[in-house]
């Protein structure tokens, strides 16, 4: 599994100091950005998947410590994954499943923040190789604590998601996945 990210965040509204300390890994501090992401997955000895994702994130400040964070992903997939319709697995290129997310974010002073909201995945791919074939909802919740005693911008967080399908192709496997992700982000001195 390999993931590369290139980002354009010139239209962000945060202070320049906050941009340096916030690489966008903290869901309670979303950045205004447009990313082009590349991900490689080795599926078996003879098949792989290359995913090129165009992603945009945009926060909206409501006031009094409240924000809304939005995200949209448009993946394009190149794969030779074998399916019942394509047993030889020739390379195909197409659009994957579109993802959209809306999070309600609340800051509690300078150290604590929480976020919660849904992520939706829509089965927009044209073939079995490109996507799940299922409509999915992913309730997401997270809590973050800044760690200024370590360094400016350092934080610890816990992110929880539950991915479940609610409609789509009955020929495809059902989706029910719980994800719990503890995080520790240490900002090294001198922008390392």
pLDDT tens, position by position, 100-117: 999 999 999 989 999 999
| Range from 11-20, 35-44, 148-157, 182-191 carrying the lowest mean pLDDT | 11-20
Mean residue pLDDT of the chain comes to 84
* C-alpha to C-alpha distance for 133 and 96, rounded to whole angstroms: 10
50 CB burial (10 A radius; 0-12, 13-18, 19+)? middle
Residue 75 has pLDDT above 90, yes or no: yes
pTM for the full predicted model: 0.78
Residue 130's CB: how many other CB atoms inside 10 A? 24
Mean pLDDT of the 25-51 span: 89
Mean pLDDT of the 155-168 span: 92
H helix intervals, the chain: 16-21
Residue 173 has pLDDT above 60, yes or no: yes
Residue 2 has pLDDT above 50, yes or no: no
Residue 159 has pLDDT above 90, yes or no: yes
**Band of pLDDT at residue 86, cut at 50, 70 and 90:** low
In sequence order, the β-bridge partners of residue 6 are 36
């Amino acid at each position: 599994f390999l993931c590369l990210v290139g980002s354009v965040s010139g239209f962000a509204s945060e202070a320049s100091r906050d941009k340096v300390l916030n690489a966008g890994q903290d869901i309670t501090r979303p950045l205004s950005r447009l990313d082009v992401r590349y991900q490689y997955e080795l599926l078996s000895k003879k098949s792989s998947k290359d995913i090129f994702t165009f992603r945009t994130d945009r926060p909206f400040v409501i006031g009094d410590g409240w924000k809304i964070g939005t995200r949209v992903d448009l993946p394009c997939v190149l794969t030779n994954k074998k399916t019942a319709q394509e047993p030889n697995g020739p390379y195909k290129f197409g659009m994957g499943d579109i993802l959209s997310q809306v999070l309600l974010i609340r800051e509690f002073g300078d150290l604590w923040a929480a976020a919660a909201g849904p992520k939706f995945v829509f089965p927009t791919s044209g073939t079995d190789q490109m996507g799940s074939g299922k409509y999915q909802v992913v309730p997401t919740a997270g809590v973050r604590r800044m760690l200024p005693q370590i360094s400016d911008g350092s934080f610890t967080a816990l992110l929880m998601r539950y991915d479940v399908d609610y409609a789509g192709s009955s020929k495809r496997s059902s989706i029910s996945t719980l994800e719990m992700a503890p995080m520790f982000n240490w900002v090294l001195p001198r922008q390392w």
